[in-house]
Amino acid sequence: MLIDRIFKIFTSLKLTVICLGFGIVLVFVGTLAQVHMGIHAVQEEYFGAFLVYWKPAGANWKIPVLPGGYLLGIILLLNLLAAHIFRFQWAWKKSGIFLTHLGVLLLIVGGFLSGLLSVESQMPLDMGQTKNYSEDPLAVELVLVDTSHPDYDEVVAIPQHFLGSEKNIQHPRLPFRLNIEKYYPNSKLAMRQPGTDAAAAATQDIGINVQATEIPRATQVNQQDIVSALVEIVTPEKSLGTWLVSSGLGKDQIFSTEGKTWHIGIRQARYYKPYSIQLLNFSHDLYPGTDIPKNFSSRVRVVNPSFKEDREVLIYMNHPLRYAGETYYQASFANNDKTSILQVMRNPGWLTPYFACSLVGLGLLVQFSIHLTSFIRRRKA
């Protein structure tokens, strides 16, 4: 029966070896690709993908050439599960192997959990500044903020992938439609030079004077894309015009419709938190008489109204703040030591590698102990 043959393939050790072989090739090719694509793009397109594609320069087609990290992980996971279900017979003397395999399964599942659920962001804080959100250094969002209410702002945050994939964006909370006329994944902004530059595509606000030009995506770890887009705002009655929005403008632009004032802009994607963090002091200590850094530390104040919590914490190297499921590391600093940059990591599966490795270790210990005792018994006999 066909179905049985398929399951037989899944239980085979050959499949495991093939997958591990592809895994080695993937790591090798992915490491080389980082030179041109940068670590983040490779993570996305090689290790966090089901298939790795090859696209000739300038072509608009692509073909899959390698299984991606996710696909290999899933096949290995199913392979291990199928082998246990169909092939292995439970016996006490094999309990070590079972424990080791359970550890490996947990490691693969934990890897998936981290890949899919973990969120990494940054919180740059100036001295004295308080923030209740961190920002994604790699992803941006198009925001439309209704500032008409006297007490609060209502934010409609549109993730970056909508800009590349959707031509028209509509949302029940927006009394207008957004028509994405052009999307620049990375761009260069310059003041428009009258006479030499083409006519402005934007018809409103700063876009009339600023020219965006598409440039290749940033590949270095310390570079950031300047994401820009030309967005036409269309109410049911008419078009309000076209705005150039960009993460490089550093400021929202404003328009009004139906008696409400809206801010439009592209900014680094934000993750809001139910608590706030204030930077009280940042220290950058050097070894006396040298420029060699000895210590970076941030003294912060954590205020969480729902728990009536208000306390000070010192974050320094290897001593992060773990709070509300997130970990704050001292990552960097800027602005002549007046700005501290905290790395914020949310990873619900952060404990799984510890459990998994402990299980693998325990399994190996049990299995070797079983063999050792049976060996000793046989010698005695």
Partner 1 sequence: MNPNLKSFGLMAAVLSIFLTGCGRSEIQVYRVPKEIRTAPAFPQASESQIAWATPQGWNEQPSSGMRLGSFAVPGPAGKAGADVSIVQLTGEAGGTLANINRWRSQLELGAISETQMARQVTQFSVNGIQATMVDLLSSKPVGDPPQVTRMLAVMIPQDASTVFVKMTGEEHMVTSQKAKFLQLVSSIRFSKTAPPPAIAAQWKAPPHWKAQPLTAMRKGSFLITGENNSRAEVSITSFGGMAGGILANINRWRGQIGLAAISEPDLEKNAETTHIQGHHITIVNMAGKGGQRILGAITPHGEETWFFKISGDDQLVQSQKPALIEFLKTVKFP
Nearer to partner 1, 189 or 280 (CB): 189
Query: Of 39, 156, 218, 370, which one interacts with partner 1 (CB under 8 A)?
Result: 156
Name 307's bridge partners.
Answer: none
Query: Of 29, 208, 364, 370, which one interacts with partner 1 (CB under 8 A)?
Result: 208
Q: In 287-317, which ranges are E strands?
A: 293-304, 309-316
83 conformational bin, left if phi > 0, alpha if psi -120 to 50, beta if neither = alpha
CA distance 286 to 196: 50
- Is residue 107 a contact point for partner 1 (CB under 8 A)? no
- Is residue 218 a contact point for partner 1 (CB under 8 A)? no
Nearer to partner 1, 158 or 300 (CB): 158
Integer CA distances (angstroms), 287 to 292, 294, 296, in order: 6, 6, 12
CA distance 190 to 211: 5
- Concatenating the DSSP letter of every residue in 64-113 gives EEEE-HHHHHHHHHHHHHHIIIII----GGGHHHHHHHHHHHHHHHHHHH
Does residue 213 contact residue 253 with C-beta atoms inside 8 Å? no
Query: Of 2, 3, 24, 57, which one interacts with partner 1 (CB under 8 A)?
Result: 3
Query: Of 36, 93, 251, 322, which one interacts with partner 1 (CB under 8 A)?
Result: 251
**CA 263, 267, 269, 271 torsion-angle sign:** negative
- Which residue stretch of 248-256, 318-326, 338-346, 352-360 sits at the interface with partner 1 (rule: CB under 8 A)? 248-256
- Which residue stretch of 58-66, 253-261, 290-298, 370-378 sits at the interface with partner 1 (rule: CB under 8 A)? 253-261
- Is residue 112 a contact point for partner 1 (CB under 8 A)? yes
- Is residue 236 a contact point for partner 1 (CB under 8 A)? no
Contact pattern from residue 260 through residue 299 relative to partner 1, giving x for each residue in contact according to CB under 8 A and a dash for the rest: -x-x--------x---------------------------
Query: Of 41, 51, 107, 155, which one interacts with partner 1 (CB under 8 A)?
Result: 155
Contact pattern from residue 115 through residue 154 relative to partner 1, giving x for each residue in contact according to CB under 8 A and a dash for the rest: -xx-----------------------------x---xxxx
CA distance 358 to 364: 10
Nearer to partner 1, 160 or 330 (CB): 160
* Residue whose C-alpha is closest to residue 202's, from 176, 215, 184: 184
CA distance 171 to 112: 31
- Smallest distance, Å, CB 58 to partner 1? 18
- Smallest distance, Å, CB 158 to partner 1? 5
Contact pattern from residue 40 through residue 69 relative to partner 1, giving x for each residue in contact according to CB under 8 A and a dash for the rest: ------------------------------
Beta carbons within 10 angstroms of residue 137's beta carbon: 18
- Smallest distance, Å, CB 317 to partner 1? 27
- Is residue 8 a contact point for partner 1 (CB under 8 A)? no
Q: CB-side exposure of 124: number of CA atoms within 13 Å?
A: 11
Name 298's bridge partners.
Answer: 282, 315
Query: Of 29, 51, 252, 301, which one interacts with partner 1 (CB under 8 A)?
Result: 252
- Residues in Cβ contact with 196 at an 8 Å cutoff, skipping those fewer than 6 apart: none
- Is residue 189 a contact point for partner 1 (CB under 8 A)? yes
- Which residue stretch of 19-27, 60-68, 203-211, 290-298 sits at the interface with partner 1 (rule: CB under 8 A)? 203-211
- Is residue 323 a contact point for partner 1 (CB under 8 A)? no
- Is residue 201 a contact point for partner 1 (CB under 8 A)? no
Query: What does the angle CA 327 – CA 329 – CA 333 come to, to the nearest 5 degrees?
Result: 145
46, two tokens: 């090689």
Residue found under tokens 């399964």: 105
Query: What does the angle CA 342 – CA 348 – CA 349 come to, to the nearest 5 degrees?
Result: 115
- Smallest distance, Å, CB 6 to partner 1? 10
Interface residues toward partner 1, by CB under 8 A: 3-4, 7, 10, 70, 74, 77-78, 81-82, 85-86, 112, 116-117, 147, 151-159, 161-162, 169, 171, 173, 189-194, 196, 205-206, 208-210, 248-254, 261, 263, 272
